[in-house]
Amino acid sequence: MATDTVSVDQEMVRMTPGLGGMVVSAVGYRIAGVRTGLHRGLPSPYLTLIFSLDGPVTGGLTPEQARGPGAFRADIVVGGLQQAPAYVEQPERESGVQLAVHPLAARALFGMPAAELTGHAVAEGTDVLGRAGAEVHERLREQDRWEERFATLTDFLRRQVARAPDTPGVRDEVGEAWAWLARHHGAGTLQGLAAHVALSERRLTTLFRAETGLTPKQAARLMRFDRAKAQVVAAVSAHNRPDLAGVAADCGYYDHSHLVRDFRQYTGVNPTAWLAEECRNIQAGGHRNGPEWDA
């Protein structure tokens, strides 16, 4: 019996951002020959900035929106912190540069707190970055080498920071709260976190949500899930079967079923179903280049 085969041509190049932790990862990608369809963009603890070089990114908060007239379409994508997956149309060919941006760098890089990006699948990049963003997008499309593109982006982001000296900074308590959560990989209690930053739980939650768009508990869950997903991906990348019970215990979940509940929230399906969808992409390296747009 004859079967159809698909020859996938994939290139991923990672850059070391060197922007003082503002950009967590930067990946140049070029993919051709994939089967078209919907891709689940998973939530992550980072903001997403994508400069698409092969036409607009198309998607939505539901499969129906992504495929319908209400789909978002943007050549420059800015994504906030989300609590559910987004759905992105996977074209046969695509290329671009994707950056994972620290949420507390949003004021310096985007001129607004990350909270203003929360609640939307994406923001139109030119609305956030203005004319300068559109100009850098055009330059990226004209350039042929990843080194040139990364240099162009780094220069652009440094200019963004230089233009924001009068932008109100992130409160120290919020910055330390995020760092504490990150050090604990999303474990720990709100009571312990509030005591650490010398604020009441209510006051901390108010300030944290105003800056990031999430409560400390929501951010902690997202960090914990991100760590668990990374361990699952590492196992599959090594051609091993993930030990979900072991991952749950190592990442601070009460039990295996607690991990499954979080997977359902953040991916829309259980871990087994998500791995069935993503196994080929994982083994090709699509999940080893830093946070995705995972949207």
Q: What is the CATH number of the domain that holds 143?
A: 2.60.120.10
pLDDT tens-digit readout, 150-209: 999 999 999 999 986 666 789 999 999 999 999 999 988 999 999 999 999 999 999 999
Q: Which residue has the tokens 């092969």?
A: 54
Q: Percentage of residues in the chain with pLDDT exceeding 70?
A: 89
Half-sphere exposure of 254 (CA within 13 A, CB side): 5
Q: Which of 78, 89, 95, 108 is nearest to 30 (CA)?
A: 95
Q: Note whether residue 28 is domain-resident.
A: yes
The predicted structure's pLDDT at residue 285: 52
**For residue 237, is it within any domain?**
no
Q: Identify whether the C-beta of residue 96 lies closer than 8 Å to the C-beta of residue 50.
A: yes
294 assigned to some structural domain = no
Cβ-proximal residues to 115 (8 Å cutoff; 6+ apart), any chain = 80, 209, 210, 211, 212, 213
Helices vs. strands in the chain: H and E counts, helices first:
11, 10
Is 106's pLDDT higher than 80?
A: yes
- Paired tokens of 192: 């312990």
Q: Is 70 exceeded by the pLDDT of residue 98?
A: yes
Tokens of 37: 């369809």
How many CA atoms does the CB half-sphere of 51 hold within 13 Å?
25
- What pTM does this model have? 0.89
Q: For the chain, what is the domain count?
A: 1
The answer to whether residue 38 sits within a structural domain is yes
Give residue 65's domain range: 9-162
- Across the chain, the runs of DSSP E, i.e. the strands, are 9-15, 23-32, 37-41, 47-52, 57-60, 72-74, 76-79, 86-90, 93-101, 123-124
pLDDT, tens digit (0-9, with 9 covering 90-100), for 242-280: 899 999 999 999 889 999 999 999 999 998 888 888 765
Reading the block at residue 88, the tokens are: 């992105």
